[in-house]
Amino acid sequence: MKIAFTTKGKGWDAEIDPRFGRTEYIFVYDEESGNIEDIDNSGVSEHAHGAGPMTAQIITEKNIDILITGNGPGGNAERVISAAGIKTIAGAGGMTVKQAYDAYKNKKLN
Amino acid sequence: MKISIASGKGGTGKTFIATNLASYIAERENTVLVDMDVEEPNSGIFIKGDNIHSEDKFKMIPEWESKNCTLCGLCQDVCNFHAVLKVKDGIMVFPELCHSCYACSELCPHSSLPMKPVKIGTLDHYRKGKLDFIESKLNVGEEQAVPLISQTDAYADYHLKNKIRICDCPPGTACPAIESVKDSDLVILAAEPTPFGFHDLKLIIKAMQKIGKRIAVVINKAGIGNDDTEIFCRENKIPVIAKIPHYRKLAVCYSKGELVYDRFGFMQTEMGKIYSHIKEIAK
């Protein structure tokens, strides 16, 4: 599975950004290959509108299977994410990426 | 002649001034009152007339047709509002984000994004004596007020051109307020002399000066708050053309949806002062 996290920084110890559209970074972890990637999403702050769909589009382009985030995406972003068949897991706000991943693996997030 | 009644802060008396002023002027000449606050129009609470025309209002939104689309992605590249996105093997359109600029539709090499009308609200035209009243209502959930505001203005331009027009504008300094005062010969700012009212008045003054609008201030609820508003206006040479006192009996009438321009002597006086100022500018 390829998993995307909305984060406030880089790497496994970064805190989950509870916001979806305006998340500062996106952390991508490919469970099969073990590869990780930090995507800088700070450019979105220049846009007054449409942050949700923009961030969602970045995620769809990475062929993500699962999205782990805090508050969950808004209506427009949700349309993009469901169209791409990505499963959203919310409620990880305040955790680090590592904690959120473990919580997801232990089925403590859904 | 187009006169806009605007304010920074909400609740300072835009509708109060607009409805009473329009009714006062309508006893003297043909007048049009337009409620530009399409998100929450309330001039209609005070103005009752015969409904002479109703129409639905639309905005144009692109609709994706997959048939000839090659998924080149040009549409999303030319969209400044992220309203068109290529997602996997499809194009998604977000109507709430779309500004109806036609760029994606016109530039699509395969004509795969034809523009289609989407209803955004309604417009009603009422008449009561010499007063024409136009009120538009934006559908609940519709995010953009500007397209309906500009169409409401266009309706008045087309059908009621040579009459004095009073526009009840939305509050604030954002796009709806700016769109509403467009083409105004005078913007009358309804000011409430409280610290909060004063703070937001300065914002709207700055906005109006930036877009080069002639402004005047009407102090409403005079007697509450402090003198900062008047001192500021004097120092910055902004004319204070009328002062409506904070008066309980008047507020009671307003709360019942009643017009007061002809029920209190001081209202006749103050409305007369505003009317004279307008006439002075029209010369």
CA distance B79 to chain A (A): 11
Across the range B181-205, mean pLDDT stands at 97
pLDDT score recorded for residue B265: 96
Nearest to B97 among A50, A56, A83 (CB): A50
Mean pLDDT of the B152-172 span:
96
Query: What is the mean predicted confidence (pLDDT) over B262-275?
Result: 97
Same domain, B32 and B155: yes
Q: Which domain holds residue A32?
A: 2-105
Per-residue pLDDT at A1: 93
> What residue of A is the nearest CA neighbor of B76?
A54
Is B75 found in the same domain as B28? no
Q: Same structural domain for residues B173 and B271?
A: yes
Question: What average pLDDT score do residues B30-51 get?
Answer: 97
CB of A50 within 8 Å of a chain B CB? The answer is: yes
- Give me chain B's average pLDDT, please: 96
Nearest to B85 among A47, A51, A57 (CB): A57
For residue B101, what are the domain limits?
A: 64-113
Portion of chain B with pLDDT greater than 90, in percent = 93
Please state the rounded mean pLDDT for residues B58-63: 96
- The CATH number covering residue A20 comes to 3.30.420.130
**Residues B142, B100: one domain?**
no
Q: Inform me whether the pLDDT recorded for B96 exceeds 90.
A: no
Residue A67's contacts (CB-CB under 8 Å, 6 or more residues apart) are A3, A4, A5, A6, A59, A73, A81, A86, A87, A88, A89
Average pLDDT on A39-43 reads: 93
Average of pLDDT values for B136-143? Answer: 93
The two three-digit tokens of residue B184, written as one number: 């105004």
Q: Is the pLDDT of residue A47 over 90?
A: no
CATH number of the domain within which B88 lies: 3.30.70.20
Q: Is residue A96 part of a domain?
A: yes
pLDDT for res B283: 85
Domains: count for chain A: 1
Q: What angle do CA A46, A50, A55 make, to 5 degrees?
A: 85
DSSP assignment of B171-182 equals: SSSSHHHHHHHT
Q: What is the pLDDT of residues B97-126, one digit of tens each?
A: 899 999 999 999 999 999 999 999 999 999
Q: What is the pLDDT of residue B211?
A: 96
Q: Which two tokens stand for residue B36?
A: 């530009």
Tell me how many domains chain B contains: 2
| Residue B170 confidence (pLDDT) | 97
B210 and B195 together in one domain: yes
Q: Do B228 and B272 share a structural domain?
A: yes
- State ipTM: 0.78
